[in-house]
Amino acid sequence: MGQIEMTEKEMWYKKKHESLWKWLAKNPKKEKKDWPGFKKSFVPDWECFACDFAGRDESGRSCHKCPVDFGVKKNKKNPPHCEHLTNEKKSYYMLWQRAITSAERRKYALLIANGWKSGG
């Protein structure tokens, strides 16, 4: 199956997502709210361009439409999302949030930066 082409809107969100997370990889002691790009651009809900791109459903979120691979398997009962946390598997985002060393934060920030998959 071929790759789905991105719309101009998706390319814009993906670029912002990558910029944020690559900056976090270079600045592992910083938080999303510290990203200088938020001073030049709007701040999306949850400081997340992927969440903003996915939109919202009646529950207030649309995690099942998230274009980012957070390292958690997709299934209908439990769609993957950044805050997914179980005894067996933690998402890259949760691992980034809970990382103790700068090296760990860099590793997970880069996985998230490069995790955008076209078509969600």
| pLDDT averages per 10-residue partition of the chain, 120 residues | 73 96 98 93 87 82 81 64 66 92 98 83
C-alpha–C-alpha distance, residues 37 and 107, integer Å = 21
> Closest Cα partner for 62 from 120, 114, 6?
120
Q: Where are the domains of the chain?
A: 8-113
Q: At what angle do helices 102-113 and 8-26 cross, to 10 degrees?
A: 170
The pLDDT, as a whole number, for residue 119 is: 54
